[in-house]
């Protein structure tokens, strides 16, 4: 069973915004919406670090927990997706998300919010795979084509890794062993932390409901 | 000579036209009663949206989940440049 995850290597990210551009181009994202952003800490100071941030497809996704209309679902691979036809654009998910991933297009005057848009791990949404409807609402479905998220595949320095959690963790471990530093994985503790009792499956998940 | 039959035909079709119009009006008014319920009943804690098909249901995997995972894992290895360049 694969468990899809993102991993951003702060030692390698050069703030080129290639991931942001690739994502916007691949999914034809409208102006004002950024599914992925590059955040720089201590900008201009020696030792500054940049990280590429998007939806991390959390193990226990807070957006799923707070959604009043339950429009979120999780695929077998752990990709958190949502049904835009159900979304009411309330913004609760935005407040709940520790990564600021949910985006809301401004669809009218006075800051009227549209339906939430976020990273889909290039997995589309609840429309026919590869259909124009799916592309219009969620963007391209690369996973159904056997491809990985475009942001990770396009990353020039391979700072951003995407794919099965075990595989990318192995790649990162290999890298850390070679360079001998920078073992900290940004965001993983927040997104993929183990439950308090790791041996026991969460009750909600065992019942087949959302966690 | 040609006016007479026309008038006669109009007079004859008049009730028919009125009946058709009345039928159309009635259908239009009744259409409002046939509206689908617009209030969705949400069940707390469960996904309420449309079902989605798994990514591996498409060609060339056609439902072969194991092979799809294997292919994606192999593709993910391309992100490891130590392996790509043989370092």
**A146, B71 Cβ separation under 8 angstroms:** yes
Burial A177-190 (b: 16+ CB within 10 A, else e): eeeeeeeebbbbee
In B, what residues contact A, Cβ < 8 A? 40, 42-58, 60-61, 65, 68-69, 71-73, 75-82, 87
Q: How high is the ipTM of this complex? A: 0.85
A93 Cβ under 8 Å from any chain B Cβ: no
- From A125, A162, A50, select the one nearest B53 (Cα to Cα): A125
Output the pLDDT for position B32: 75
User: Pick from A123, A161, A209: which is nearest to B79 by CB?
Assistant: A161
SS3 content of chain B, % helix, strand, coil (to 5): 60, 0, 40
Output the pLDDT for position A204: 45
Q: What ranges make up the beta strands (E) of A55-111?
A: 72-74, 80-82
**A74, A81 Cβ separation under 8 angstroms:** yes
φ/ψ of B28, rounded to 5, equals: -65, -40
Distance to chain B for A84, nearest Cα, Å: 9
Residues whose CB is less than 8 angstroms from the CB of residue A190 and which lie 6 or more positions away in sequence, other chains included: A56, A58, A98, A99
Structure tokens at A140: 């391209």
Looking from the CA of B32 toward its CB, the CA atoms found within 13 Å total 4
Per-residue model confidence as pLDDT tens for chain A (211 residues): 789 999 999 999 999 999 999 999 999 999 889 999 999 999 999 989 999 999 999 999 999 999 999 999 999 999 999 999 999 999 999 999 999 999 999 877 777 788 999 999 999 999 999 999 999 999 999 999 999 999 999 999 999 999 999 999 999 999 999 999 988 898 999 999 865 655 555 454 444 444 3
How far apart are the C-alpha atoms of A151 and A21, rounded to whole Å? 8
Question: How big is the CA angle at A86 (ends A55 and A109), to the nearest 5 degrees?
Answer: 80
**A160, A132 Cβ separation under 8 angstroms:** no
B82–A145 CB contact, under 8 Å: no
φ/ψ of B60, rounded to 5, equals: -90, 5
B58–A175 CB contact, under 8 Å: no
Distance to chain A for B57, nearest Cα, Å: 8
Output the pLDDT for position B40: 60
DSSP class of A40: E
pLDDT digits (tens, 9 = 90+) for B19-74: 999 999 999 888 877 767 666 666 666 888 888 999 999 989 999 999 999 999 99
Q: Of B39, B43, B50, B82, which to mutate for an interface test with A (greatest number of A Cβ within 10 Å)?
A: B50
**A116, A100 Cβ separation under 8 angstroms:** no
Question: What is the chain A residue with the closest CA to B65?
Answer: A1
B72–A73 CB contact, under 8 Å: no
Looking from the CA of B73 toward its CB, the CA atoms found within 13 Å total 15
* DSSP string across A131-161: -HHHHHHH--B-GGGT---HHHHH-SS--EE
How far apart are the C-alpha atoms of A63 and A71, rounded to whole Å? 10
């Amino acid at each position: 069973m694969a468990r899809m995850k993102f991993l951003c290597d702060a030692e390698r990210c050069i703030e080129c915004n290639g991931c942001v551009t690739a994502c916007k181009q691949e999914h034809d994202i409208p102006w004002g919406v950024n599914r992925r952003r590059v955040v720089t800490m201590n900008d201009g100071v020696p030792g500054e670090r940049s990280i590429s941030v998007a939806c991390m497809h959390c193990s226990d996704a807070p957006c799923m927990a707070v959604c009043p209309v339950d429009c979120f679902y999780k695929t077998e691979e752990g990709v958190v997706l949502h049904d835009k036809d159900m979304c009411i654009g309330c913004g609760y998910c935005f407040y709940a998300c520790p990564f600021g991933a949910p985006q809301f297009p401004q669809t009218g005057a006075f800051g009227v919010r549209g339906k939430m848009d976020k990273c889909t791990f290039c997995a589309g949404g609840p429309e026919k795979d590869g259909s124009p409807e799916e592309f219009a609402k969620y963007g391209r479905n690369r996973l159904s084509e056997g491809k990985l998220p475009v942001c990770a595949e396009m990353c020039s320095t391979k700072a951003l890794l995407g794919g099965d959690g075990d595989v990318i963790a192995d790649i990162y471990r290999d890298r850390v062993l070679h360079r001998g530093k920078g073992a900290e994985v940004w965001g993983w503790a927040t997104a993929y932390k183990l439950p308090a009792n790791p041996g026991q499956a969460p009750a909600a998940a065992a019942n087949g409901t959302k966690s | 000579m040609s006016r007479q039959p026309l008038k006669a035909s109009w007079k004859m079709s008049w009730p028919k036209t009125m009946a058709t119009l009345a039928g159309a009006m009635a259908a239009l008014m009744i259409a409002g009663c046939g509206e689908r319920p617009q209030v969705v009943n949400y069940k707390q804690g469960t996904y309420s949206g449309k079902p989605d098909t798994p990514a591996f249901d498409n060609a060339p995997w056609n439902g072969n989940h194991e092979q799809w995972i294997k292919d994606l894992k192999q593709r993910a290895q391309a992100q490891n440049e130590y392996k790509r360049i043989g370092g």
